[in-house]
A = this chain, B = another copy of it.
Amino acid sequence: MLFLPEDRTYLNYEDMIKNESQMPADKRIDFVTIVTPNFAHFAPAMLALENGFNVVIEKPMTFTLDEAKQLQKKVEETGLSLCLTHTYSGYPMVKQAKAMFAKGMFGKIRKIWVEYPQGWLSKLSEREGNAQAAWRTDPKKSGKAGAMGDIGTHAWHLAEYISGLKVTKLCADLNVLVEGRALDDDGNVLLKFDNGAAGCLMASQVAAGDENALKIRVYGELGSVEWAQHEPNTLLVKWLDKPTEIYRAGQAYLSDITKANCRTPGGHPEGYLEAFGNIYHNFALSLMAKMNGEEPTAAMMDYPKVDEGVRGMAFIDAVVASGQSDKKWTEFVV
Protein backbone atom coordinates (compact mmCIF):
# COMPACT_ATOMS: atom_id res chain seq x y z
CA MET A 1 0.00 0.00 0.00
CA LEU A 2 1.69 3.16 -1.18
CA PHE A 3 -1.02 5.62 -0.03
CA LEU A 4 -1.28 7.13 -3.53
CA PRO A 5 -4.44 9.12 -4.30
CA GLU A 6 -6.79 6.87 -6.22
CA ASP A 7 -7.54 9.39 -8.96
CA ARG A 8 -3.86 9.64 -9.82
CA THR A 9 -3.18 5.94 -10.01
CA TYR A 10 -3.09 4.97 -13.68
CA LEU A 11 -3.42 1.77 -15.63
CA ASN A 12 -0.92 2.77 -18.32
CA TYR A 13 1.65 5.44 -18.97
CA GLU A 14 -0.27 7.14 -21.75
CA ASP A 15 -3.16 7.92 -19.38
CA MET A 16 -0.75 9.08 -16.71
CA ILE A 17 1.13 11.47 -18.93
CA LYS A 18 -2.04 12.80 -20.57
CA ASN A 19 -3.80 13.36 -17.28
CA GLU A 20 -0.85 14.75 -15.36
CA SER A 21 0.08 17.15 -18.14
CA GLN A 22 -3.38 18.70 -17.87
CA MET A 23 -2.95 19.40 -14.15
CA PRO A 24 -1.72 22.77 -12.89
CA ALA A 25 2.06 23.07 -12.89
CA ASP A 26 2.36 23.04 -9.09
CA LYS A 27 0.30 19.88 -8.75
CA ARG A 28 1.53 17.66 -11.50
CA ILE A 29 4.26 15.06 -11.09
CA ASP A 30 7.84 16.29 -11.33
CA PHE A 31 9.28 13.31 -13.15
CA VAL A 32 8.47 9.89 -14.51
CA THR A 33 10.38 6.76 -13.51
CA ILE A 34 10.67 3.93 -16.04
CA VAL A 35 11.62 0.51 -14.66
CA THR A 36 10.17 -1.76 -17.35
CA PRO A 37 12.16 -4.27 -19.46
CA ASN A 38 14.47 -2.68 -22.02
CA PHE A 39 12.11 -2.88 -25.01
CA ALA A 40 9.55 -0.78 -23.13
CA HIS A 41 11.84 2.14 -22.19
CA PHE A 42 11.76 4.34 -25.24
CA ALA A 43 8.06 4.99 -25.84
CA PRO A 44 7.16 6.18 -22.32
CA ALA A 45 10.40 8.12 -22.00
CA MET A 46 9.80 9.95 -25.28
CA LEU A 47 6.15 10.62 -24.46
CA ALA A 48 7.13 12.00 -21.07
CA LEU A 49 9.76 14.30 -22.54
CA GLU A 50 7.38 15.45 -25.26
CA ASN A 51 4.91 16.44 -22.59
CA GLY A 52 7.39 18.29 -20.47
CA PHE A 53 8.21 15.70 -17.84
CA ASN A 54 11.67 14.91 -16.61
CA VAL A 55 12.60 11.24 -16.75
CA VAL A 56 14.39 8.66 -14.61
CA ILE A 57 15.11 5.52 -16.56
CA GLU A 58 16.70 2.09 -16.01
CA LYS A 59 19.77 1.02 -17.91
CA PRO A 60 20.45 0.08 -20.65
CA MET A 61 18.59 3.25 -21.62
CA THR A 62 16.80 1.85 -24.68
CA PHE A 63 16.38 -1.13 -26.96
CA THR A 64 18.56 0.26 -29.74
CA LEU A 65 21.27 2.87 -30.14
CA ASP A 66 19.01 4.78 -32.52
CA GLU A 67 16.32 5.15 -29.86
CA ALA A 68 18.97 6.36 -27.44
CA LYS A 69 20.05 9.08 -29.84
CA GLN A 70 16.45 10.18 -30.29
CA LEU A 71 16.07 10.56 -26.53
CA GLN A 72 19.34 12.47 -26.40
CA LYS A 73 18.09 14.85 -29.09
CA LYS A 74 14.78 15.36 -27.31
CA VAL A 75 16.51 16.09 -24.00
CA GLU A 76 18.69 18.67 -25.72
CA GLU A 77 15.68 20.25 -27.43
CA THR A 78 13.52 20.44 -24.34
CA GLY A 79 16.10 21.25 -21.71
CA LEU A 80 14.50 18.61 -19.51
CA SER A 81 16.54 16.28 -17.31
CA LEU A 82 17.05 12.59 -17.81
CA CYS A 83 18.61 10.45 -15.10
CA LEU A 84 19.94 6.97 -15.89
CA THR A 85 20.10 4.66 -12.88
CA HIS A 86 23.59 3.24 -13.08
CA THR A 87 23.20 2.37 -9.42
CA TYR A 88 26.78 1.50 -8.66
CA SER A 89 27.97 5.01 -9.45
CA GLY A 90 25.81 6.10 -6.50
CA TYR A 91 28.05 4.46 -3.91
CA PRO A 92 30.05 7.00 -1.90
CA MET A 93 33.35 5.16 -2.18
CA VAL A 94 33.00 4.99 -5.96
CA LYS A 95 32.71 8.76 -5.88
CA GLN A 96 35.80 8.88 -3.67
CA ALA A 97 37.78 6.92 -6.24
CA LYS A 98 36.57 9.24 -8.99
CA ALA A 99 37.54 12.29 -6.95
CA MET A 100 41.05 10.96 -6.28
CA PHE A 101 41.74 10.29 -9.96
CA ALA A 102 40.26 13.67 -10.92
CA LYS A 103 42.76 15.26 -8.54
CA GLY A 104 45.57 13.36 -10.25
CA MET A 105 46.66 11.61 -7.07
CA PHE A 106 47.75 8.47 -8.92
CA GLY A 107 49.27 10.05 -12.04
CA LYS A 108 48.29 8.87 -15.47
CA ILE A 109 45.97 5.88 -15.59
CA ARG A 110 47.60 2.81 -17.14
CA LYS A 111 45.18 0.00 -16.65
CA ILE A 112 41.59 -0.71 -15.68
CA TRP A 113 40.21 -4.07 -14.70
CA VAL A 114 36.52 -4.39 -14.09
CA GLU A 115 34.71 -7.63 -13.47
CA TYR A 116 31.09 -8.45 -12.84
CA PRO A 117 30.43 -12.12 -12.15
CA GLN A 118 26.98 -13.33 -11.18
CA GLY A 119 25.90 -16.94 -10.93
CA TRP A 120 22.12 -16.72 -11.05
CA LEU A 121 21.75 -17.81 -14.71
CA SER A 122 23.92 -20.93 -14.30
CA LYS A 123 20.87 -23.02 -15.12
CA LEU A 124 18.35 -22.46 -17.89
CA SER A 125 16.12 -20.63 -15.43
CA GLU A 126 14.27 -18.82 -18.20
CA ARG A 127 12.56 -22.13 -18.95
CA GLU A 128 11.67 -22.73 -15.31
CA GLY A 129 9.32 -19.84 -14.70
CA ASN A 130 11.84 -17.25 -13.50
CA ALA A 131 10.32 -14.00 -14.82
CA GLN A 132 13.48 -11.96 -14.29
CA ALA A 133 15.47 -14.51 -16.24
CA ALA A 134 12.84 -14.81 -18.96
CA TRP A 135 12.86 -11.26 -20.26
CA ARG A 136 16.55 -10.73 -19.76
CA THR A 137 17.43 -13.69 -22.00
CA ASP A 138 14.82 -12.90 -24.65
CA PRO A 139 16.23 -10.86 -27.56
CA LYS A 140 12.79 -9.38 -28.22
CA LYS A 141 12.65 -7.87 -24.76
CA SER A 142 16.27 -7.38 -23.75
CA GLY A 143 17.88 -6.33 -27.04
CA LYS A 144 20.85 -7.71 -28.88
CA ALA A 145 22.93 -8.43 -25.78
CA GLY A 146 22.28 -10.54 -22.71
CA ALA A 147 24.81 -10.38 -19.88
CA MET A 148 26.69 -7.60 -21.65
CA GLY A 149 23.55 -5.44 -21.79
CA ASP A 150 22.36 -6.27 -18.31
CA ILE A 151 25.56 -6.07 -16.31
CA GLY A 152 28.37 -5.46 -18.80
CA THR A 153 26.99 -1.94 -19.24
CA HIS A 154 27.26 -1.36 -15.48
CA ALA A 155 30.88 -2.50 -15.53
CA TRP A 156 31.70 -0.33 -18.56
CA HIS A 157 29.98 2.67 -16.95
CA LEU A 158 31.85 2.27 -13.70
CA ALA A 159 35.18 2.20 -15.56
CA GLU A 160 34.45 5.42 -17.43
CA TYR A 161 32.83 7.07 -14.39
CA ILE A 162 35.74 6.52 -12.03
CA SER A 163 38.56 7.07 -14.52
CA GLY A 164 37.10 9.96 -16.47
CA LEU A 165 38.40 8.15 -19.58
CA LYS A 166 36.48 6.91 -22.61
CA VAL A 167 36.74 3.51 -24.27
CA THR A 168 37.88 3.90 -27.88
CA LYS A 169 38.05 0.32 -29.10
CA LEU A 170 37.46 -3.16 -27.79
CA CYS A 171 37.81 -6.85 -28.51
CA ALA A 172 35.00 -9.05 -27.21
CA ASP A 173 34.64 -12.75 -26.70
CA LEU A 174 30.92 -13.29 -26.06
CA ASN A 175 29.72 -16.71 -25.05
CA VAL A 176 26.56 -18.69 -24.53
CA LEU A 177 27.75 -21.08 -21.84
CA VAL A 178 24.38 -22.56 -20.92
CA GLU A 179 23.11 -24.58 -23.83
CA GLY A 180 19.82 -23.44 -25.28
CA ARG A 181 20.12 -19.82 -24.23
CA ALA A 182 19.33 -17.17 -26.86
CA LEU A 183 21.73 -14.42 -25.74
CA ASP A 184 25.25 -14.17 -24.38
CA ASP A 185 25.48 -15.13 -20.72
CA ASP A 186 29.21 -14.48 -20.45
CA GLY A 187 31.83 -12.32 -22.00
CA ASN A 188 35.42 -11.12 -21.72
CA VAL A 189 36.36 -7.87 -23.38
CA LEU A 190 39.74 -6.25 -23.99
CA LEU A 191 39.55 -2.46 -23.86
CA LYS A 192 41.58 0.54 -24.98
CA PHE A 193 40.96 3.97 -23.48
CA ASP A 194 41.42 7.40 -24.97
CA ASN A 195 44.60 8.10 -23.01
CA GLY A 196 46.18 4.85 -24.18
CA ALA A 197 45.35 2.87 -21.05
CA ALA A 198 44.64 -0.84 -21.42
CA GLY A 199 41.66 -2.53 -19.89
CA CYS A 200 39.75 -5.70 -19.40
CA LEU A 201 36.06 -6.11 -18.67
CA MET A 202 34.47 -9.34 -17.67
CA ALA A 203 30.78 -9.97 -17.21
CA SER A 204 29.19 -13.31 -16.57
CA GLN A 205 25.86 -14.57 -15.33
CA VAL A 206 27.01 -18.17 -15.18
CA ALA A 207 29.74 -17.68 -12.59
CA ALA A 208 28.26 -20.40 -10.39
CA GLY A 209 28.46 -19.46 -6.73
CA ASP A 210 29.01 -15.74 -7.20
CA GLU A 211 26.30 -13.31 -6.19
CA ASN A 212 26.67 -9.85 -7.64
CA ALA A 213 30.40 -9.45 -7.45
CA LEU A 214 31.06 -6.22 -9.30
CA LYS A 215 34.65 -5.14 -8.66
CA ILE A 216 36.93 -2.59 -10.23
CA ARG A 217 40.63 -1.84 -10.05
CA VAL A 218 42.12 1.25 -11.65
CA TYR A 219 45.91 1.54 -11.82
CA GLY A 220 47.83 4.76 -12.21
CA GLU A 221 51.55 5.43 -12.29
CA LEU A 222 51.77 6.04 -8.54
CA GLY A 223 49.11 3.82 -7.11
CA SER A 224 45.72 2.30 -7.61
CA VAL A 225 42.26 1.83 -6.18
CA GLU A 226 40.18 -1.28 -5.66
CA TRP A 227 36.47 -1.27 -4.95
CA ALA A 228 34.08 -4.19 -4.63
CA GLN A 229 30.34 -3.88 -4.39
CA HIS A 230 30.12 -6.67 -1.81
CA GLU A 231 31.89 -4.42 0.70
CA PRO A 232 30.86 -1.07 -0.69
CA ASN A 233 31.89 1.06 2.27
CA THR A 234 35.56 0.28 1.77
CA LEU A 235 37.92 1.63 -0.88
CA LEU A 236 41.40 0.16 -0.98
CA VAL A 237 43.96 2.79 -1.92
CA LYS A 238 47.29 1.25 -2.83
CA TRP A 239 50.62 2.98 -3.28
CA LEU A 240 53.93 2.11 -4.83
CA ASP A 241 56.10 2.71 -1.80
CA LYS A 242 53.89 2.88 1.25
CA PRO A 243 51.19 0.80 2.92
CA THR A 244 47.81 0.28 1.32
CA GLU A 245 45.18 2.48 2.92
CA ILE A 246 41.63 1.47 3.76
CA TYR A 247 39.36 4.40 3.02
CA ARG A 248 35.98 4.03 4.71
CA ALA A 249 32.59 5.64 4.13
CA GLY A 250 31.44 8.19 6.65
CA GLN A 251 34.93 9.45 7.54
CA ALA A 252 36.04 13.07 7.75
CA TYR A 253 39.02 12.63 5.41
CA LEU A 254 36.85 11.90 2.36
CA SER A 255 36.16 14.33 -0.49
CA ASP A 256 33.20 16.68 -0.12
CA ILE A 257 31.21 14.98 -2.82
CA THR A 258 31.77 11.62 -1.15
CA LYS A 259 30.59 12.93 2.19
CA ALA A 260 27.50 14.45 0.55
CA ASN A 261 26.55 10.92 -0.45
CA CYS A 262 27.00 9.35 3.01
CA ARG A 263 24.08 9.25 5.45
CA THR A 264 25.61 7.61 8.49
CA PRO A 265 28.77 7.96 10.57
CA GLY A 266 31.70 5.62 9.86
CA GLY A 267 31.09 2.03 10.79
CA HIS A 268 27.35 2.08 10.14
CA PRO A 269 27.22 0.25 6.81
CA GLU A 270 25.21 1.62 3.94
CA GLY A 271 24.25 -0.50 0.96
CA TYR A 272 22.62 -0.91 -2.39
CA LEU A 273 19.43 0.94 -1.53
CA GLU A 274 21.33 3.98 -0.31
CA ALA A 275 23.43 3.97 -3.50
CA PHE A 276 20.22 3.89 -5.48
CA GLY A 277 18.88 6.59 -3.21
CA ASN A 278 21.88 8.79 -3.91
CA ILE A 279 21.16 8.73 -7.64
CA TYR A 280 17.56 9.75 -7.02
CA HIS A 281 18.48 12.20 -4.30
CA ASN A 282 21.03 14.08 -6.38
CA PHE A 283 18.64 14.12 -9.32
CA ALA A 284 15.83 15.45 -7.13
CA LEU A 285 18.04 18.13 -5.61
CA SER A 286 19.14 19.28 -9.05
CA LEU A 287 15.51 19.36 -10.21
CA MET A 288 14.45 21.39 -7.17
CA ALA A 289 17.27 23.84 -7.81
CA LYS A 290 16.22 24.23 -11.44
CA MET A 291 12.58 24.69 -10.44
CA ASN A 292 13.67 27.37 -8.00
CA GLY A 293 15.65 29.09 -10.73
CA GLU A 294 18.94 28.22 -9.08
CA GLU A 295 22.04 26.67 -10.58
CA PRO A 296 22.42 23.09 -9.30
CA THR A 297 25.79 22.40 -7.67
CA ALA A 298 28.27 19.92 -9.07
CA ALA A 299 27.27 17.54 -6.29
CA MET A 300 23.62 17.76 -7.32
CA MET A 301 24.50 17.17 -10.97
CA ASP A 302 26.44 14.04 -10.07
CA TYR A 303 24.04 11.46 -11.56
CA PRO A 304 24.25 9.53 -14.87
CA LYS A 305 22.60 11.34 -17.78
CA VAL A 306 21.36 10.81 -21.31
CA ASP A 307 24.84 11.00 -22.86
CA GLU A 308 25.94 8.08 -20.73
CA GLY A 309 22.81 6.27 -21.88
CA VAL A 310 23.81 6.79 -25.51
CA ARG A 311 27.34 5.60 -24.83
CA GLY A 312 25.96 2.55 -23.05
CA MET A 313 23.96 1.58 -26.11
CA ALA A 314 27.02 2.17 -28.28
CA PHE A 315 28.95 -0.12 -25.95
CA ILE A 316 26.39 -2.86 -26.53
CA ASP A 317 26.58 -2.35 -30.30
CA ALA A 318 30.37 -2.45 -30.31
CA VAL A 319 30.62 -5.45 -28.03
CA VAL A 320 28.14 -7.49 -30.05
CA ALA A 321 29.78 -6.50 -33.34
CA SER A 322 33.18 -7.44 -31.96
CA GLY A 323 31.86 -10.73 -30.67
CA GLN A 324 30.87 -11.65 -34.22
CA SER A 325 34.05 -10.35 -35.85
CA ASP A 326 37.32 -12.08 -36.69
CA LYS A 327 39.21 -8.83 -36.38
CA LYS A 328 40.91 -8.16 -33.10
CA TRP A 329 39.76 -4.61 -32.54
CA THR A 330 36.35 -2.97 -33.09
CA GLU A 331 35.96 0.78 -32.78
CA PHE A 332 33.70 2.09 -30.02
CA VAL A 333 31.79 4.82 -31.85
CA VAL A 334 28.73 6.72 -30.71
Known: A204-B219, A244-B248. 13 other contacts (CB 8 A): A122-B240, A173-B190, A208-B220, A208-B222, A208-B240, A211-B267, A213-B267, A241-B252, A244-B246, A263-B273, A268-B271, A268-B272, A327-B327
A111–B90 Cα distance when bound, in Å, is 30
With a CB–CB cut-off of 8 A, which chain B residues contact A111?
Answer: 177, 186, 204, 206-207
Q: List 19 A-B contacts (CB under 8 A).
A: A110-B206, A111-B186, A113-B202, A119-B240, A122-B222, A123-B240, A173-B190, A173-B198, A200-B202, A206-B219, A208-B219, A208-B238, A209-B219, A211-B265, A212-B268, A229-B267, A243-B248, A245-B245, A263-B273
Specify the main secondary structure of chain A where it touches its partner: loop
**A223: CB under 8 A from chain B?**
yes
With a CB–CB cut-off of 8 A, which chain B residues contact A273?
Answer: 263-264, 270, 273-274
A97–B122 Cα distance when bound, in Å, is 20
**A37: CB under 8 A from chain B?**
no
With a CB–CB cut-off of 8 A, which chain B residues contact A117?
Answer: 113, 217, 219
Known pairs A110-B186, A186-B198; A209 contacts B272 (CB<8 A): no
A200–B171 Cα distance when bound, in Å, is 12
**A326: CB under 8 A from chain B?**
yes
The smallest C-beta distance from A262 to any residue of chain B, in angstroms, reads 11
**A76: CB under 8 A from chain B?**
no
Known pairs A177-B110, A245-B243; A212 contacts B266 (CB<8 A): yes
The smallest C-beta distance from A163 to any residue of chain B, in angstroms, reads 14
Known pairs A252-B241, A271-B269; A188 contacts B198 (CB<8 A): yes
Q: Which of B120, B213, B267, B329 contacts A212 (CB 8 A)?
A: B267
Question: Of residues 272 to 289 in A, which have CB atoms within 8 Å of B's CB atoms?
Answer: 272-274
Question: Of residues 190 to 233 in A, which have CB atoms within 8 Å of B's CB atoms?
Answer: 190, 198-200, 202, 204, 206-213, 217, 219-224, 229-233
B186 contacts A188, C-beta separation under 8 Å = no
With a CB–CB cut-off of 8 A, which chain B residues contact A265?
Answer: 120, 211-212
With a CB–CB cut-off of 8 A, which chain B residues contact A123?
Answer: 240
In order of increasing CB-CB distance, the 10 nearest A-B pairs are: A209-B238, A211-B267, A212-B267, A269-B271, A243-B245, A268-B272, A271-B271, A188-B200, A244-B246, A211-B266
